[in-house]
Amino acid sequence: MSNRGAFIAIEGLDRSGKTTQVATLQARLESEGIPVKLFKFPDRTTAIGIMIDSYLRSQSELDDRAIHLLFSANRWELAGAIEQLLAEGTTVVCDRYAFSGVAFSTAKGLSFEWCRSPEVSLPAPDVTLFLDISPEKARERGGYGDERYEKEEMQRKVRDVFRQISTEFDEARWVTLDAGRRREDVAADVWNCVQPFTSGLASPLQRLWN
């Protein structure tokens, strides 16, 4: 039987260059002839995603738990498609995943355990790359944008929760990269981490936090 595709999640703080790194990784995989599909969470195009988008742009208000569950539901509505692609041998790259869900909602004051529960049993990434940047460096890069969570105080708290999450995974499954460096250097590290997965995996897909 042929290998399944690898499931790679890229997480990062705002201004970490995540969008650029994801695009660079996708282009590199394609240039190497590796079938790849990119998902971005939140996926703002679905009915659930449209509600999330309105909330993030402060055009609507929602209870903290309600928005948390919508972010999670947005992943669950696409989980079947992700599993299908992986089974067909396609490498799946996710720009943000369940870890963002837990980090941002916990940073708002909800309990870590409560935040994690709707994410349990989602397809588990084979490796998660966390693009870390200090709030000071983010400020140097022009500061944060206008969306709801793009404030220094919030980003500091989010960073702390990401660090807490990282302690739950071994080094093979969670890699923290210093994203405050030149983008070429970060891209080289991203590729070094992803390259071993490009021939796919024989091991079954795991479930998150099971």
CA dist list (Å): 32 to 20, 157, 160, 198: 18, 38, 36, 9
Beta carbon of residue 181, minimum distance to ligand TMP (angstroms, whole number):
20
Rounded-to-integer distance, Cα 17 and Cα 53, Å: 21
Listing DSSP states for 157-194 in one string gives HHHHHHHHHHTTS-TTTEEEEETTS-HHHHHHHHHHHH
Q: Which stretch binds ligand TMP (CB under 6 A): 2-10, 96-104, 163-171, 182-190?
A: 96-104
Structure tokens at 180: 């405050």
User: Does the footprint of ligand TMP cover residue 42 (CB under 6 A)?
Assistant: yes
Cβ contacts of 181 within 8 Å, gap of 6 or more: none
- Using the rule CB under 6 A, which residue among 17, 101, 125, 200 binds ligand TMP? 101
User: Does the footprint of ligand TMP cover residue 144 (CB under 6 A)?
Assistant: no
**Segment 151 to 210, residues that bind ligand TMP, using CB under 6 A:** none
Beta carbon of residue 51, minimum distance to ligand TMP (angstroms, whole number):
13
Beta carbon of residue 89, minimum distance to ligand TMP (angstroms, whole number):
26
Residues that bind ligand TMP (CB under 6 A): 41-42, 56, 71, 96, 100-101, 104, 147, 149
